[in-house]
Amino acid sequence: MLLSPDEWQIVGLSLKVSGVAVALTLPVAFGLAYLLARGKFPGKILLDALVYLPLVLPPVVTGWLLLIGFGLRGPIGSRVHDWFGLTLIFRWTGAALAAGIMALPLMVRAMRLSIEAVDRRIEGAARTLGASDWRVFWTITVPLALPGILAGIVLGFARSIGEFGATITFVSNIPGETQTLPIAIYAALQVPGSDAIVTRLALISVVLSLGALIVSELLARRAGVGRGGHVL
């Protein structure tokens, strides 16, 4: 497909924001998934609900919370800026933060299901053969849960590519910095005679999203998570 340099920049920025968002969210999501799948502790229901909150909370609320918390005047944003010299608001880093938070529930869900599906008797057998907990984790649990982990990564990536509400509320619309695919489409929609650009960008979105869903579904089937392997 032929895109203008501006359009390539939009696609490239979207891929960068989503890639960084998923990479940084991955360890957090896996830790939470493991905790929710295996852990028994007071407050588990609350943690469960908090993890899934971004999935059901209006994205504009998430964006507003980010704005008041992580803005230059916010209690977290001001310290991050002073201590690490890292600015989040109006920057692509903030877009990645918003995308990562929105992707977290989907990633945790896919990973949690696959961790729950791991046959614990196999882990037990490995232990009776003398394997340490650490070794059991890396040689049994992670490989068996791998399709779910990959599905979570792909789903989280797709969700990040599509993130709009929290992003525009928190980091606004700056071409080349925070103008990701959905925000570029939204802005272009208001410009007269932009139908061709909107169509091209929308097509890219459909292809990326469809591809991600198909890949995650194939991975989930291999994992045999649930009946039919649905992770959604």
Partner 1 sequence: MRLTSRCLSLLLSLCAAVSLSAAASAKPPLVLAAASLQESLNAAADAWAAKHHERPVLSFAASSALAKQIDAGAPADLFISADEPWMDDIQKNGFVAPGTRVSFLGNTLVLAAPAASKGDIAIRPGFPLAKVLGDGKLAMADPDSVPAGKYGKAALTALGVWPSVQARVVRGDSVRAALAFVERGEAPYGIVYGTDALSSKAVRIAGVFPSSSHVPITYPIARLAGSTNRDAEAFRLFLISAQGRAIFRHYGFLPHTPQAL
Applying CB under 8 A, the residues found at the interface with partner 1 are 67-68, 71-73, 89-90, 168, 172-176, 179, 186-187, 189-192
Q: Minimal distance in Å, beta carbon 30 to partner 1?
A: 33
Q: Minimal distance in Å, beta carbon 169 to partner 1?
A: 9
Answer whether 185's CB lies under 8 Å from 14's CB. Answer: no
User: DSSP letters along 26-77, please?
Assistant: HHHHHHHHHHHHH---TTHHHHHHHHHHHHHS-HHHHHHHHHHHHSTTSHHH
Q: Minimal distance in Å, beta carbon 72 to partner 1?
A: 6
Answer whether 182's CB lies under 8 Å from 162's CB. Answer: yes
> CA 7, CA 202: separation in Å to the nearest integer?
11
**Cβ closer to partner 1: 67 or 161?**
67
**Cβ closer to partner 1: 77 or 105?**
77
**Cβ closer to partner 1: 40 or 73?**
73
Q: Minimal distance in Å, beta carbon 187 to partner 1?
A: 6
The DSSP code for 120 is H
Q: Minimal distance in Å, beta carbon 11 to partner 1?
A: 19
**Cβ closer to partner 1: 43 or 82?**
82
**Cβ closer to partner 1: 125 or 189?**
189
Give the SS3 label for residue 210: helix
Going by C-alpha positions, the residue among 11, 36, 5 that lies closest to residue 152 is 36
